[in-house]
Structure 1
């Protein structure tokens, strides 16, 4: 896979779909957004990360400064389209110049490298392209097997796994994800993290999943689908997957998915 070509192609497809969509059409997979919001979201994300890469951002403060400088959303999709095109090109150009191991700030503390951003931005473009097609009530285009596998990997390793360092993690079940067409398998522990925020005083009880360790018990549930649908299922983009197993395990999976991923 050429990550940069994939980002460019998926972003172009998203823009092409949204160019003719009603700007207030609701995004069914991100219902707090409409079509215009979705286009501006991807534009802003790509502008932000290209700036992180270009300016060699390494700290939370520098990243927050970039984010606070984001321009306001234009009133019309037609005004957003050329800005999106430039944002995608600038992101792709930066990624092509940098190696995966080069350090840059990311929101995922465990991986402060360009490689994280490269993988994340492929997933971002693919999933929001699907959002655009669903918003326009179009048939959703397929995800290439290699790209879908990356998206499942990234969901398992990152999107489901965040937890603050003051929280307590309680696994509830081991679940196996199976890509029926490629043979890919992911063994995950599903459970919840709990704790009280030290600054807010708020109590948290949040679903979470991580890769299962070698000493994990045997899985008590399985999620099966072709890999493109498995990726869409994991990212809550209306992928069709069969979930079978013990009630406690399948319930934990349902709660994990109910959080959604923007």
Structure 2
């Protein structure tokens, strides 16, 4: 389910370009339905700053939080300059990953076994894909996504939610995701399967094996991704099939809120 570096970098640029085209002409103060605390201006600034923040981490080979950038470039005041600013940030980020060894010694805040560069590549793709969903919701446009990108974001989401870093940063979520062996099985119709187990010591996941689970969620990878990342309510996901304990899926989603909503 892991994307190649080339595919990931191409996706960063393409998804950002789509984001920029989607928000062109939308009022700057338009509310973002999927991130209720944000306006469109804040959403655009967030994605552009996130790209540049990640470029600094990867490009400078930052190895600890004490080295992180302390200032962020501001969003251009003129809305017609947003597209160029967004594209420049995405292209710089893609170049940083292209030039960096995927196993370079870079800080990984999740605390899992991935190299830091690999962690940031996965996160950058996920952030861009997810926030393009926010952009389309704001513009009132339909959202489409290639299945391989959706699957990569599902994997990244599960990596994040089961990591030591998440438990340290969002302990209330990590605690809520504990269980006594309950299982969730996610099956993308295009291929790809994930199995989550909620244990007393914390939630874990692994690639699925077809085994039975307490709840099995089947459907398009893009829909599974949007539900897991809280961009589509479970009740509105009409192309999902949910077999078993629906409340187990709802509880998981309800207790995995991220800072972006």
TM-score, with normalisation over the residues of structure 2?
0.81
Which moves more between the two structures, 156-165 or 222-231? Answer: 156-165
User: Which of 129, 135, 140 lines up with 2:138 in the alignment?
Assistant: 135
The residue number in structure 1 matching 2:230 is 236
Q: Secondary structure at the match of 2:167?
A: coil
Question: Which residue of structure 1 lines up, in the alignment, with residue 98 of structure 2?
Answer: 96
Q: CA deviation at 1:261?
A: 6.4
1:220: which partner in 2?
Answer: 214
Runs of 5+ unmatched residues, structure 1: 194-207
Partner of 2:118: 115
RMSD in angstroms over aligned alpha carbons?
Answer: 2.9
Please tell me whether the aligned partners of residues 10 and 129 of structure 1 are also in contact (alpha carbons under 8 angstroms). yes
Equivalent runs, 1:240-251 vs 2, <5 Å: 240=237, 241-246=240-245, 249-251=248-250
Q: CA deviation at 1:156?
A: 1.3
Structure 2 CA distance, aligned partners of 1:251 and 1:19? Answer: 34
Q: Which has the higher strand share?
A: 1
C-alpha distance in 1, partners of 2:190/2:54? 34
Whether 1:60 and 2:73 are equivalent positions in the alignment is no
Q: 1:210 aligns with which of 201, 204, 213?
A: 204
* Residue of structure 2 in register with 1:125 after alignment: 128
CA distance in 2, matches of 1:209, 1:232: 20
Check whether the contact 1:235–1:261 (CA below 8 A) recurs between aligned residues. Answer: no
* C-alpha separation in 1, matches of 2:170 and 2:154: 27
Superposition map of 1:194-205 within 5 A? none
Mapped to 2, the partners of 1:113 and 1:254 lie a distance apart of 27
Aligned match of 1:9: 14
Q: Which residue of structure 2 aligns with residue 197 of structure 1?
A: none
Question: Aligned in 2, Cα 1:191/1:260: closer, same or farther, shift over 3 Å?
Answer: farther
Whole-Å separation in 1 of the counterparts to 2:130 and 2:72: 23
Give the superposition deviation at 1:44: 0.2
Q: Which residue of 1 aligns with 2:41?
A: 36
Report the Cα offset of residue 112 of structure 1: 4.2
When residues 248 and 12 of structure 1 are mapped into structure 2, their CA distance, relative to the original with a 3 A threshold, is closer
The residue aligned with 2:179 is 171
Gaps of 5+ in 2: none
> What is the aligned partner in structure 1 of residue 190 from structure 2?
181
Q: CA deviation at 1:255?
A: 2.9
- What is the Cα deviation at residue 92 of structure 1? 0.9
Structure 1 residue 190, shift from structure 2 partner? 3.8
Q: Is the 8 A contact 2:189 2:218 kept in 1?
A: yes
Q: Distance in 2 between matches of 1:179 and 1:39?
A: 30
Runs of 4+ with >4 A deviation: 165-169
**Cα deviations across residues 88-137 of structure 1 (Å, max 9, x unaligned)?**
11111111111211121232122342111112111111111111111100
Larger radius of gyration: 1
- 1:203 corresponds to: none
Q: Give the aligned partner of residue 149 of structure 1.
A: 151
For residues 9 and 246 of structure 2, the distance between their equivalents in structure 1, rounded to whole angstroms, comes to 42
8 Å contact 2:55–2:93 — kept in the other structure?
A: yes
